[in-house]
Structure 1
């Protein structure tokens, strides 16, 4: 049985497969870049304190460096899953602070609580800790397409504010490095697309069944 390859469907599938393979190779390149960045980040907590960055993105040479900010007033609180200094888990409370009449403001991860409905009494002031980034809720597609907004700087408090427990100090393990997994996924998708298309062609070329 001879299988014929229709021009346009074959061209479309070939382009899609090449794109997926290209994305897989790109993720492998990103993995090497991320590993070099993690080596730099791992040494940052031991370096001297530095000025807190006002605008995103946070460069690798500043991530997890010691710093401090002055929260003029807490505008609002929000919480999400986090880890305490003693290794337990809970809800990390992040304060959105005003730093002046104008300007970008600042985010402060002020501490952790067992319950999601805690009401921290802290209203602002000088606070020190480590330079981090806000939680990443960006979609994978937006990041791949280059349309994702950079993550804003966030101070991770070294000491918890009243009513909250101390957060775990940041480290290189907190930086996700999923590029190998993403690469494997893209290569897998490319292989599946090829297999499905070949099966479809084989079915299309099969002679019709005898109705008798």
Structure 2
């Protein structure tokens, strides 16, 4: 066997081993994600918690809570859904919750209008804690504020666990690489 073929086999073997390793890693991630989703699902039935003043290592996602928005300091209007599942805009107020605190995000409701609800000045809000890209978590109001419709409540059902399909892809890539290499090695080298 030529040096070129041996080098090709070594490179392919390394690539296949890496792809199999990534597939196994994704299988482990799938189990971790299942456990996390089960934890989130269980949280929906637990008693309400105090809204975190300091950002915790693991926010209490999908738990019921409440907070007092003392002052709205900024607005965000982003794609969202209402309680009936219709697409539109979620309106998120960034609030000051204490004299010095970092604040909190409150999704006050939903509308078809890209900008709405900005006349809301704050106050007591109860709802469910969901993910937020700015603060890591936010309170989604259980009832629309400022004349807005109620937003869809955050749900662990919205989190997909794609790790099994990723694992399958890595294993398929490894198999394809082996098949292509086998077919290429069967050909007689040109002399």
TM range (shorter): 0.7 to 0.9
Q: Does 1:55 align with 2:55?
A: yes
Distance of aligned partners of 1:198 and 1:47 in 2 relative to their CA distance in 1, 3 Å threshold: same
Give 1:57 shift.
4.2
- Per-residue CA distance 1:82-122 (angstroms, 9 max, x = gap): 22112222111222223334333212222111132335321
Q: 1:75 maps to what in 2? A: 73
Pairing partner for 1:96 from 94, 110, 117: 94
Does the CA contact (< 8 Å) of 2:72 and 2:96 recur in 1?
Answer: yes
Does the CA contact (< 8 Å) of 2:91 and 2:117 recur in 1?
Answer: no
Does the CA contact (< 8 Å) of 1:71 and 1:126 recur in 2?
Answer: yes
Does the CA contact (< 8 Å) of 2:91 and 2:115 recur in 1?
Answer: no
- Per-residue CA distance 1:22-57 (angstroms, 9 max, x = gap): 222122122122223322322322221112233154
Matched residue of 1:103: which SS? coil
Aligned-partner Cα distance in 1 for 2:115–2:184: 54
Distance of aligned partners of 1:119 and 1:126 in 2 relative to their CA distance in 1, 3 Å threshold: closer
Aligned-partner Cα distance in 2 for 1:63–1:26: 26
Q: How many residues align?
A: 190
- Per-residue CA distance 1:141-199 (angstroms, 9 max, x = gap): xxxxxxxxxx7121111111113210122333122211112222222333344445556
Relative contact order higher in (CA < 8 Å, ≥ 6 apart): 1
- Per-residue CA distance 1:6-37 (angstroms, 9 max, x = gap): 32x54344333322222221221221222233
Where structure 1 has 5 or more consecutive residues not aligned to the other structure, the ranges are 137-150
Pairing partner for 2:144 from 143, 155, 160: 160
Give 1:129 shift.
0.6
TM-score (normalizing by structure 1): 0.74
Where structure 2 has 5 or more consecutive residues not aligned to the other structure, the ranges are none
Aligned-partner Cα distance in 2 for 1:91–1:79: 6
CA RMSD of aligned residues (A): 3.0
Aligned-partner Cα distance in 1 for 2:120–2:79: 20
Q: Does 1:183 align with 2:173?
A: no
Aligned-partner Cα distance in 1 for 2:48–2:160: 24
Does the CA contact (< 8 Å) of 2:61 and 2:130 recur in 1?
Answer: yes
